[in-house]
Structure 1
Amino acid sequence: MRDNSEVRKHNKKKIRQELRKNIRASKQQMSNMTGLSVATCNTLLNEMESEGEVISEKSLTSKVGRSTSIYSLNEHYGLYLCLEFSIVKTKRVLTWNVMTIYEHVLERSVETHDFLDESMLLKVITDIRIKYPRICSISIGTPSIAEHNIIKYCDIPELEGSSFVKELSLPVAIENDMHLKAYGYFKAECVENEIVTLGLFSEHLLPGTSTIVKGHIIRGANQIAGLVGFLPFGISREELKTKFSSDSHLEFTAKSIVSIIVALNPHKMILCGDLLNLREVELLKTTCANSIPEEYLPTFVYVEDMEKYYVRGMFHRALEVSEEYEHH
């Protein structure tokens, strides 16, 4: 049984979620949307207003001059830092966005480095927090396995073994980049009960997939769920990388996709990466139909650029880890 403080936090979360969706609401409207009593909404909204989290304005409700308070979230009360890093032709690319509760980007930066280790990342984050002291949580996307907020098997060798949680003293979510891209796509394009798998196929890199089942990221017991580069193709991992090239990848890409379809049976198969285009995706669908009857295949969707979904996935993880932190 939850104590009163837990119930209060849970009810505030309900109010916060409704204001994110509906932007503005009176106490009566909030009661209708959340199922909470008007009295409870009144108490919590007044408390959130006194703390600066919500703001109110008077609105006339009739011709006789009666007014009611209309509430909305204070967009700058809490900010969210979404930070990602990747490797492009040996260069380390660091991208970050400072975002509001309504997903508006206050500032975005893309930096290129020859070397990028934990101390450099911490300095970047510290500088951003000095500029934006209202940052309340951080989401970090990594091209790696992120096990218990520790970076493992990273494409950027100098970040191997890094973790930022203790040093940052605020809620932090470190997540595999594929998970975040798939999660962002789900949040933007899917309905609540859908299963969606994202597959990334890039030249001379081991492929990766990530699946969202009804809003939940499938990470597995130790975060390797979806790493189809570990499938037993009968050749070494280094040799497998060479097979993922423009003239030889179709067989291995199709086998990777078929394994995911058989195991998880998604509604949608989202495909991206520099090995693919619309024509390649149609070829893949035809090849997969040689193994699985076409009527059981998911909808194949090609997305050329996943960045907007990546940012959305990072934002939602930052939002979630902030709310999780409040309950501890």
Structure 2
Amino acid sequence: MRSVLPILTVVAAIMAFWVLAVIPMNMHLTADQAQREDIAVSPATPAERQAYSGMGLTLQNLGLISRTYTLERPRLPSPHQVGAEMWDTIFEKRITSRRSLVYHGWVTLSATLVGFAIGTGLGILLAVGIVYNRAMDMSVMPWAIASQTIPILALAPMIIVMLGAIGVQGLLPKAVISAYLSFFPVVVGMVKGLRSPDGMQLDLLRTYSASAVQGFWKLRLPASVPYLFASLKIGISASLVGAIVAELPTGARAGFGARMLVGDQYGQPIVTWAALFAAAITAAALVGLFSFLERLTLRRMGMQAA
């Protein structure tokens, strides 16, 4: 309960801020719509006009405020609008429908998992090479760091165009961009983990005449597991972001990125926000899965998760 209460407090604060922010963000749209529809009721008799003069402005303002939460095309959708759109597109639509967020989520998730597998495998191999080879440490590591300074929004179209020129389309270009974002956290975390054993532990291995391979499997790799899982949780989130970004410049017809584009192009911000929250929930579920695997793995190794 102690671990859940702070999270619920933060969520409640965000929701309260969101609910209050809807009013100033949508008020001008509501006022314009009310003026077009001529919703103000003119009192018929002098007595009604006198009574209305004292409270008409207040009633009208209250009516306008309530309408900010029900606009069809709001600048900032209200929480219940986003929730209703998510419920409709997740539970009410068939998963094969192009309007189903489950369908779009699977398209994005498939590219995410493929890219994450590529990035993780490449990151682990590079980390082992960096730790055991000084030349790689001096050459590869600086380039790995420099690669992360390139904005992914500028790099994604270039990768998609180049791969498309050689006939590679569909899932793989998105997976490459996901791998690009996910491999760096794995490299950094694994290098830190493989170098985490102290001098006394390494000297003990030399005392037992252990080879470098034995030192890797018996000491360095087990010591790197907590660092690896911390990197994997960052990498899987970055991989999901990469898959969504890859869908934006290609005009993709499926995926969370494609759903966001539909909302922006057709003036349906509720659709965009629903896809955004669905992506956030997907990322949280993936991170939660790796947290569960981390606790399970460390428990079997006789270690405790931080």
Query: What TM-score do you get using the length of structure 2 for normalisation?
Result: 0.29
Structure with bigger gyration radius: 2
**Greater helix proportion:** 2
